[in-house]
Chains A and B, each alone.
Chain A
Amino acid sequence: MRKTFLWATVAFMLIPLYVLTVNAFKGQQDILADPFGLGGLTLEPLGRALTNPQFNVVKGYAVTLLFVVAVNVLSVVLAAPAAYVIARSPKRRFRVLMLFFLAGTFIPGQVLVIPVVYVLKTLGLMGTIRGFVLFETVLTLPFSIFLYAGYIATIPAVLDQAAAVDGASRLRTFWQIVFPLMRPAVATMVILNTFSVWNDFVNPQIILGPGSGLYTVTTGVYAAVSQYSTDYTVVFPTLLLAIAPLLVFFVFMQRHIISGLTAGATKG
């Protein structure tokens, strides 16, 4: 009974993915005649989606990957040392700093995007890759610092003190002794950041804008699909190309994602 119900749910969850996959390999006539069937499979629509002038998928992957890597690197370099000081120093001012960062987890991104345009214009970073990467990085800081600080608190402070006695500076102690031990927390955060940067639509759409000619996977899908929403030979292959790398990444990383989410929810 329980098993039957669960398998029925599995079917319901996976049907959209099935429809997406089979129809990405069919012509418009076959899609309309039998959207669930396997008749008339062809690679032609997928090939056309790959070379769509509206949205260069390969370039979209490259641009998005560049953003993912840049945001992840910057986020770790900025958040990890800050979290270390916050977690290790008993000083009141660092506890206040933690609350200051935590406040950021409550501010919805859409509320920020309008005034951020103003800030970026003032700084001369509007419409630039640098401006976009910096803003996306800042969006990751509150939760990263929260997660890292919680994790560092579980690493024995005796380790740092031993390094200090041996004459290592505080910076060196952190990067050489503590940081390598933070690998699980960093892995979780990198995975979560990867999904949020890859899937973000509002921020690249507004900060990079159509004028920059830079399409991420999401803004590219929007450009390609919203105009041809009735031509399913465009819609299905484009969507499949957009999610395929992410689904593969998810299948390999699901253990870390699910445990990371769980840790984030139960700590504190």
Chain B
Amino acid sequence: MTLTREAPPAVPEAPALPKTRRGDGWANTIMVAPATVLYTVMLIVPVGLALYLSLTDWDGFSADPAFVGAANYLDLLDDPELRRAALVTLLVAAAGTAGLNLLGLGFALLVNGASKANTFFRIVLFYPHVLSALVVGFLWSAILGTNGAVNNLVTKWGGEVLPFLSDPAWATVTMIGVLVWAGFGVNVVLYLAGLQAVPHSLIEAARIDGATRWQVFRNVTLPALGPSVTVNIVLSLVTLLKTYDLVVSLTAGGPAGQTQTVAYLILWNSFHDARLGFGSAQSVLLMLVTAALAFVVTRLRRRGELAVHQ
């Protein structure tokens, strides 16, 4: 996300007016302290604690978790469940990111421009995003399940039941499909914001020079959208890597645990199996992988953006 960039520049100091007065320092402290303290206690301290707990065997109840060193991390290395969940998560993140961004950019180009119809299209494309992922999953499982709406029609017309959610491979694809259905509206909106920054004169000039629609898109629009593409890819990746709610409601991790994501496994191990130390180690791993992927994508994209500008 662009959030990594520096804070907005401070407003230039106005001359001749009193900049600081006695008491302003105190006022500043009073204004930032509550937010800072609460944020530190409930967000920064927990991140540190996750690191510490990952080195213990905490079960969630005992007051004094025993220190077990790197044992949890060593367990992670040869945990077949985690290996499978990691694969599923990476597949969901990669295919989902591709889907969200191709559809996001494609539809942004289709509904660009101010008109009543376009506003309506944007709202319809965006609305699933405001529903909770939990509800979206239950809804699609009622539509695609073995006794669901679609299979009812299929069997009524003499077809075989389609295993949307009951076959491991199908279930993974269905999950990716639902994630894309529910999420690409956000990417449409973000790409629309990016499209506003594409210089209109450049597009017109290219058109006058006889460029085709595709040439204009490839050589003018897409390069100008560079930063938007980066934001969208990183945002999609970071969001998809922590897919949890939808797994709970769409497949409940099934069939036979084949659609469990890492986030699902973390909470399952932590709270169902009361292995919060082990779950913390998985959390630390997920946090590191997410940060590393976001960093790599940003770096690669920046190189790409620079290459385009040269």
Contact = CB atoms under 8 A, between A and B. Distances in A.
Interface residues of B, dominant DSSP: helix
The 4 closest A-B pairs by CB, nearest first: A35-B149, A199-B132, A170-B27, A115-B49
A247 B127 contact: yes
Given A110-B267, A171-B31, A105 B1 contact: yes
Given A141-B39, A146-B3, 17 more contacts: A19-B149, A20-B142, A85-B32, A90-B10, A97-B36, A108-B242, A110-B244, A114-B266, A117-B276, A123-B41, A195-B130, A218-B134, A218-B135, A229-B138, A236-B142, A239-B142, A247-B127
Given A13-B127, A149-B7, A198-B132, A138 B242 contact: no
Interface of A: 2-3, 5-6, 9-10, 13-14, 16-17, 19-20, 23, 31-33, 35-36, 78-79, 81-82, 84-90, 94-95, 97-102, 104-119, 123, 134-135, 137-139, 141-143, 145-146, 149-150, 153, 156-158, 161, 164-165, 169-171, 174, 195, 198-202, 206, 217-218, 221-222, 225-226, 229-230, 232, 235-236, 239, 242-243, 246-247, 250-251, 254, 257-258, 261-262, 265-268
B42 A138 contact: yes
Interface of B: 1-11, 13-14, 17-18, 21, 23-24, 27-28, 30-32, 34-36, 38-39, 41-50, 53, 58, 60, 107, 110-111, 117, 120-128, 130-135, 138-143, 145, 147-149, 152-153, 181, 186, 189-190, 192-194, 197, 228, 231, 238, 241-242, 244-245, 248-249, 252, 263, 266-267, 270-271, 276, 279-280, 283-284, 286-287, 290-291, 294
A171 B1 CA distance: 32
A86 B35 CA distance: 12
B42 A116 contact: yes
A14 B124 contact: yes
Nearest to B50: A115
Contacts of A247: 127, 130-131
A174 B53 CA distance: 41
A137 B263 CA distance: 22
A87 B244 CA distance: 36
A226 to B, nearest CB: 7
B252 to A, nearest CB: 7
